[in-house]
């Protein structure tokens, strides 16, 4: 029988790649099912695989949750405990930009392809009358490269996932300054299961919620940079999708 | 005190001052209503900015936050847009319990579950000062027309 396929939103921290493979091995033992972990380098490639109905389990970026739930019929299983997706707007440490109102038309923005970070970041600068039409956006491959664009003064403003910003080295962070951090709280990654996985949904949910108490569970969580899972109801996810819809 | 007339003809007196409370940086004000506009949920920012307690807000019509400087036409446009199944977005001056006010850029979407509208989610973010200045003038004109 063909194994199920699990994938992870490409914005996970590189330090945790091994952790996701360890999680996959642990999960297969818990469920007694064959699961293949497929990681994609970027969101576009992952969305193509979703479009071909090749994915059964996904740790999804909240931006993609709308398409997965409302178009593909995925069901919410769990969300990482105490890990909302917050955004840091950062500037070079010596930048004359001290507040959001100092941002002017023509601001050069460095960012990755992370869709929820970009959505929230653009929403935050909208208050300074900035938008896609009056800013110069440079897309780079990683948050380290966003930081590099800032301290090499090729960009005036950088968008970071908060977790990624705080994982930068002290050397890099010392050359940057936080202009503003979001405090939205309810936007988060979510583990979703496809309709093909329906027979295992409840077992999977029970397994994740009890993960710290199960054999090797806490160690696996540590390797993924998670403290645990919390239940994510379908309505929780629908609410998050409605909220994201207001920001588009 | 000022008299506020709602779209259904009901009237109430509200206490109004000229004190503006700034929008909290980096935050979103989020609330949900049932399909009749009765508040069912609000996040911490929603409660804090309103000046009311959560108990005073939940179960109350959303027009508890209506400021008399807001033209009725803006809310008619909101409900007409939602009735067409579309998302509404606009600049709104909200009234606090203490009479002060705060400006928001509000976006409202219908909560559609199994094909049925079960309520609405309203998300407010920090508005641009330039757009507020434009709205103040526009809303004054609309209010004057509504009175005459």
pLDDT recorded at residue B9: 67
Question: Tell me: the pLDDT tens digits for A31-61?
Answer: 999 999 999 999 999 999 999 999 999 999 9
Spell out a b/e string for B36-69, using b for 16 or more CB atoms within 10 Å of the CB, else e: eeebeebbebbbebbbbeeeebeeeebbbbbbbe
**Which of A124, A243, A245 to probe the B interface (max B CBs under 10 A)?**
A243
Please give the residue of chain A at the shortest CA–CA distance from B41: A239
Q: Average pLDDT in the A204-233 region?
A: 96
Q: Residue B123 belongs to what domain range? A: 2-147
Measure in Å the smallest separation between the Cα of B113 and chain A Cα atoms.
Answer: 8
pLDDT recorded at residue B8: 66
Question: Tell me: the pLDDT tens digits for A143-182?
Answer: 999 999 999 999 999 999 999 999 999 999 999 999 999 9
The distance from CA A47 to its chain's CA centroid, rounded to whole angstroms, is 14
Within 8 A of A185 by CB-CB distance, chain B residues are 43
Angstrom CA distances, A1 to A50, A179, A194, stand at 20, 52, 17
Give the pair of three-digit tokens for residue A241: 């999708």
Within 8 A of B82 by CB-CB distance, chain A residues are none
Q: Average pLDDT in the B55-63 region?
A: 93
User: What residues of B are in the A interface, CB distance below 8 Å?
Assistant: 23-28, 30, 32, 43, 87, 105, 107-109, 111, 113, 121-123, 125-131
Measure in Å the smallest separation between the Cα of A23 and chain B Cα atoms.
Answer: 33
ipTM: 0.90
Flag whether pLDDT at B6 surpasses 90: no
B120 and B108 in contact (C-beta within 8 Å)? yes
Domain spanning A87-181: CATH superfamily? Periplasmic binding protein-like II (3.40.190.10)
What element of type H or E holds A27?
A: helix A17-31
* Crossing angle (nearest 10°) for helices A17-31 and A201-209: 120
Domain of B73, CATH number, reads 3.30.450.20
Question: Tell me: the pLDDT tens digits for A96-128?
Answer: 999 999 999 999 999 999 999 999 999 999 999
Q: Structurally, how many domains does chain B consist of?
A: 1
pLDDT recorded at residue B7: 64
Architecture of the domain whose range is A4-83+186-247:
3-Layer(aba) Sandwich (3.40)
**Which segments of chain A belong to CATH 3.40.190.10?**
4-83+186-247, 87-181
């Amino acid at each position: 029988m063909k194994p199920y396929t699990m994938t992870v939103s490409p914005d996970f921290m590189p330090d945790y790649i091994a952790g996701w493979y360890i999680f996959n091995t642990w999960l297969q033992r818990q469920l007694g099912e064959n699961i293949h972990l497929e990681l994609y380098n970027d969101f576009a490639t992952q969305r193509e695989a979703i479009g071909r109905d090749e994915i059964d389990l996904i740790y999804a970026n909240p931006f993609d949750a709308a398409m997965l739930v409302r178009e593909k019929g995925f069901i919410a299983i769990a969300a990482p405990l105490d890990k909302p997706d917050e955004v840091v707007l950062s500037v070079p440490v010596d930048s004359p930009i001290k507040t959001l109102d100092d941002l002017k038309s023509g601001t050069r923005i460095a960012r990755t392809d992370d869709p929820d970070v970009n959505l929230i970041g653009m929403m935050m600068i909208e208050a300074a009358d900035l938008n896609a039409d009056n800013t110069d956006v440079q897309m780079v491959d990683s948050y380290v490269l966003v930081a590099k664009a800032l301290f090499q003064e090729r960009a005036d403003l950088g968008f970071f996932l908060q977790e990624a910003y705080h994982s930068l080295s002290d050397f890099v962070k010392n050359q940057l300054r936080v202009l503003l951090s979001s405090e939205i709280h309810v936007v988060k990654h979510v583990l979703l299961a496809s309709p093909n996985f329906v027979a295992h949904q409840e077992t999977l949910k029970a397994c994740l919620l009890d993960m710290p108490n199960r054999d090797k569970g806490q160690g696996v969580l540590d390797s993924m940079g998670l403290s645990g899972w919390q239940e994510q109801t379908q309505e929780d996810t629908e609410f998050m999708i409605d909220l994201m819809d207001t920001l588009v | 005190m000022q008299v506020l007339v709602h779209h259904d003809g009901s009237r109430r007196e509200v206490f109004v001052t000229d004190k503006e409370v700034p929008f909290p940086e980096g935050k979103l004000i989020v609330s949900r209503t049932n399909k009749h506009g009765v508040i069912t949920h609000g996040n911490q920012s929603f409660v804090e900015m309103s000046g009311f307690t959560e108990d005073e807000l939940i179960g109350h019509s959303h027009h508890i936050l209506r400021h008399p400087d807001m033209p009725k036409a803006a809310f008619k446009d909101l409900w007409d847009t939602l009735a067409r199944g579309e998302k509404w977005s606009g600049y709104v001056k909200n009234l606090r319990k203490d009479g002060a006010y705060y400006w928001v850029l509000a976006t409202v979407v219908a909560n559609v579950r199994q094909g049925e509208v079960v309520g609405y989610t309203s998300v407010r973010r920090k508005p641009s000062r330039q757009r507020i200045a434009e709205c103040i003038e526009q809303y004054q004109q609309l209010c004057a027309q509504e009175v005459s």
